[in-house]
């Protein structure tokens, strides 16, 4: 090889080597910073979840203590139990304070006071403490979102950094790089084009972009350097996608029941009805409403009512199949979406659920008008009972109304209503 050819080639090799070293160094620095941000995000997420759990335990403790005061004949025995619960609660509280301090979050005010030589949880200041605790939960949630935002920003910066380096290498190398290092240039161009799309769509397109990169690089001959860079970026994609899934799970769940919320339910309802139109299948919907729930709430209080909602959510989930989608529709009303399910099968599941709820012992249910806590259920099926998802919800709701009108604690399908209406008209 003569000198005229050796010099440009040497320049390309030196430039390429330096560029790769910078990319590797930047990647290593990014991964270290990313790990630190991920650890901080996990700490704040854990604090947020612990605060929510502690708030629930504190409310349960206060409710239990009020019951103790009402049952004066068993006060002594119950008081000892209350002290044990308080000790357990204070232990969790002390650990929570430590975790808040570690995560850099604002500490909570004192939960205890001295009384007759003992340290007890003060009922006098519990309302104020709960107010501060709610603020701490909101603050923790805000800090979690802020940490997520910081993580997205550094990811964007890293992607821009990689893109600039790749473009710099491409310009410096020129046609010699394209001619002599085809195994490097083509994969770089493919990777750069995908990262341009990702920069415009973070974080929604992370999964799709990663799949496109895998597809385009599969079967393509490329250098070990490109393999290393691609694997680093793919690992980054995997970590970010996992974190996004955790955050999405928090956003799509109802806080009181743990079921899917209305927004997530509506999205899947629309998707399932459109899929059913294309494939010619059936999708059913059950609307569930607690009978005389307002009277139960008025008599027992909203804390007891929330416990009923939670128990019903567990019963609904236990009776559903893995493909079904139980959701909290709003208030005391639930909805269950049954993909690829006809009206008869959906009704069978609904009847089984109604019986399970009847058999469940609820606190103070004997004071309900029927002597127990029950539900009414309406079932409708697409496309037989409705032309679109809105009509499906409306007709399932009509069947639910019919179940309530006919005495409650029953399951009614929209198809049975249609059969009854012509009979009434004939008479």
Phi first, then psi, for residue 65 (nearest 5°) are -70, -35
pLDDT in tens, 311-334: 999 999 999 999 999 999 988 999
Catalytic residues, by residue number, are 332
Please report the pLDDT score of residue 160 as a whole number: 77
**Tokens found for residue 198:** 């990702």
Q: Which of 426, 425, 403 is nearest to 414 (CA)?
A: 403
Output the pLDDT for position 179. 55
Question: Coil, strand or helix: which one is 328?
Answer: strand
pLDDT of residue 52: 77
* Token pair 């603050």 in the structure block, residue: 139
Distance between CA atoms of 114 and 125, rounded to whole angstroms? 13
Q: How far is CA 110 from CA 57, 113, 121, 259, in A?
A: 17, 8, 9, 34
CA of 258: how far to CAs of 211, 294, 406, in Å? Answer: 31, 21, 31
Q: What is the pLDDT, as a whole number, of residue 220?
A: 57
Q: What are the residue ranges in the chain where pLDDT is below 70?
A: 1-12, 15-16, 64-87, 89, 103-128, 169-231, 237, 241, 243-250, 419-427
The predicted model scores a pTM of 0.46
Q: How many residues does the chain have?
A: 427
Handedness of CA 118, 121, 123, 125 (dihedral sign): positive
Predicted pLDDT at 40: 74
Q: Are 379 and 414 in contact (CB under 8 A)?
A: yes
């Amino acid at each position: 090889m003569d000198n005229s050819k050796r010099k440009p080639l040497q320049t390309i090799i030196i430039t390429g080597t330096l560029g790769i070293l910078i990319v590797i160094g930047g990647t290593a620095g990014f991964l270290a910073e990313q790990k630190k941000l991920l650890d901080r995000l996990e700490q704040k997420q854990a604090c947020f979840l612990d605060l929510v759990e502690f708030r629930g335990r504190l409310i349960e403790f206060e409710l239990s203590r009020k019951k103790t005061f009402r049952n004066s004949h068993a006060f002594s025995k119950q008081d000892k139990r209350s002290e044990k619960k308080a000790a357990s609660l204070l232990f969790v509280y002390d650990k929570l304070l430590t975790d808040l301090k570690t995560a850099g979050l604002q500490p909570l005010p004192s939960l205890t006071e001295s009384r007759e030589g003992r340290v007890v949880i003060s009922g006098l200041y519990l309302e104020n403490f709960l107010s501060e605790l709610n603020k701490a939960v909101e603050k923790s949630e805000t800090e979690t979102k802020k940490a997520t935002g910081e993580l997205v920003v550094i990811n964007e910066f890293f992607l821009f950094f990689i893109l600039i380096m790749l473009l710099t290498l491409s310009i410096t190398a020129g046609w010699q790089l394209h001619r002599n290092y085809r195994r490097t240039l083509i994969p770089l161009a493919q990777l750069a084009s995908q990262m341009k799309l990702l920069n415009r769509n973070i974080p929604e397109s992370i999964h799709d972009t990663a799949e496109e990169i895998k597809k385009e690089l599969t079967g393509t001959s490329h250098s070990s350097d490109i393999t290393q860079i691609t694997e680093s970026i793919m690992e980054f994609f995997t970590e970010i996608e996992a974190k996004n899934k955790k955050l999405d799970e928090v956003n799509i769940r109802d806080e009181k029941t743990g079921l899917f919320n209305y927004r997530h339910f509506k999205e899947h309802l629309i998707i399932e009805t459109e899929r059913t139109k294309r494939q010619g299948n059936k999708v059913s919907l059950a609307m569930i409403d607690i009978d005389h729930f307002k009277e139960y709430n008025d008599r027992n209080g909203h804390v007891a009512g929330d416990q009923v909602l939670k128990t019903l959510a567990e019963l609904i989930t236990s009776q559903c199949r893995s493909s079904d989608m139980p959701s909290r529709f709003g208030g005391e009303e639930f909805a269950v979406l049954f993909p690829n399910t006809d009206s008869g099968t959906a009704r069978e599941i609904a009847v089984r659920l109604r019986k399970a709820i009847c058999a469940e012992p609820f606190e103070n249910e004997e004071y309900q008008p029927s002597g127990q806590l029950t539900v009414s259920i309406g079932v409708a099926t697409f496309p037989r009972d409705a032309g679109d998802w809105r009509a499906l919800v409306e007709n399932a709701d009509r069947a639910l109304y019919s179940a309530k009108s006919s005495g409650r604690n029953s399951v009614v399908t929209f198809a049975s209503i249609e059969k009854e209406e012509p009979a009434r008209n004939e008479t």
